[in-house]
Structure 1
């Protein structure tokens, strides 16, 4: 996969999944703007890339505002003369159950994930349309946004909104040759290290490189951050020109495609539906097989 001559921005690129993405994109030949709210982490990532022979510059800024998004696009243009790929990976967590979640918990996560994705994608779309050579927007989804997750009202809502934006932007940007897709990763990160089942495996991997067993890599689609990076490179490349509006899962040895919401059952009655009529038919028609919800607890 050759991205030589292309320029990419990766938000939250200083550590974890973002670091894996910037290293993979640079390894494929792209010039990369490494964004992170932690300036030291962004600069350390750039140092790794340049020492490996790649091209990268740092742009430490907290995503969310239009000004921050424009700064990232401008940095790419100043450093590499163009922008071809925008990867919106930055995120934060403020997990609380509904009755304990504060306004600030909710707003902070929405600002970084949902608004940060919107502002960065918008700034990228403007530049890419001006260049008139197409482009790639790759955003970060999550199983929580597809299924919901206990204690993550704010995060699940943001990720569900991001998935909806992907489908909308794919339509709006198709004429300009700009594809928009979401990566739905499952990998060893600081966040997943808090899950008791994964913690010992992640600790062993970080301690001495002990590989994850097949029960994780295949059974639970769980692996390293580097396992997810190939999908980002593919979606950034010319090879993915026909792929847009999709939520694509990646983790360990598993690659998957998430479905879009759609009607699955329907019923009709002459004259419309009263509450009594709905109650009468619900168990045997529309409500006969209700949809499941929530991310299943991982078990080996």
Structure 2
């Protein structure tokens, strides 16, 4: 049976209600550009206060151990390497070993007694689509091992997992590809990730832009070398980098992607020169193996980090 509502009842109901909002609720989730800005601000602060590991020590050398992922014993790359080195310096940590929050969580689920120390702040780095930086594929929050309680137990767990996977990989290769050289490779758990940098190289004297400077830092870190930088070169890099990272594309609007642009350019230059050096080395080996050739092809000169024209 239908019930009717009087005009008076309808009016009373209206008095006790509020109108439907016409605005859309803003998402509290951070965008990739919010993360980029935080990373850029962190780097700017370290450059300004002189604690950045990207600047030379008193002896004139940028002498760094690579920041690495302790769950795989692999060196991190590009923006991640730059920011984790910066975090290590901020903490004055004795180790360059880093682990993600997810790795710690998985270890805990496996019964390992470890946890992130209370009050510790990690470094969150988003992995984005290189064609669309606003699209976050995933993001990792990294912590230095010095921020982990039960770090030794965590390391033992991670080493055991690496060894287990290594044995599975070797068994599979041996069964399906018996002539492969994979079995001769070393167990990642046995890798020595920190070695003293005995060789040194100077910063290219024609270095003009911060991304060129960073490319050479990445090269030094990945090849186990110290990079000699003059005070003038260091000051020039610092000032230009801060200028880029604090630039506004419109009055009052920061370029949040500045650090991404800088790190991607540096990584691309580093990789390009690495490929050219490998090509140069291969041609040199071929020339040495074929000394009887009357007119060997002229080898390409070793690449430099000069600014591209």
Structure 2 length as normaliser, TM-score? Answer: 0.28
Structure 1 length as normaliser, TM-score? Answer: 0.29
More contact order relative to length (CA 8 Å, sep ≥ 6): 2
Based on CA coordinates, which of the two structures has the bigger radius of gyration?
2
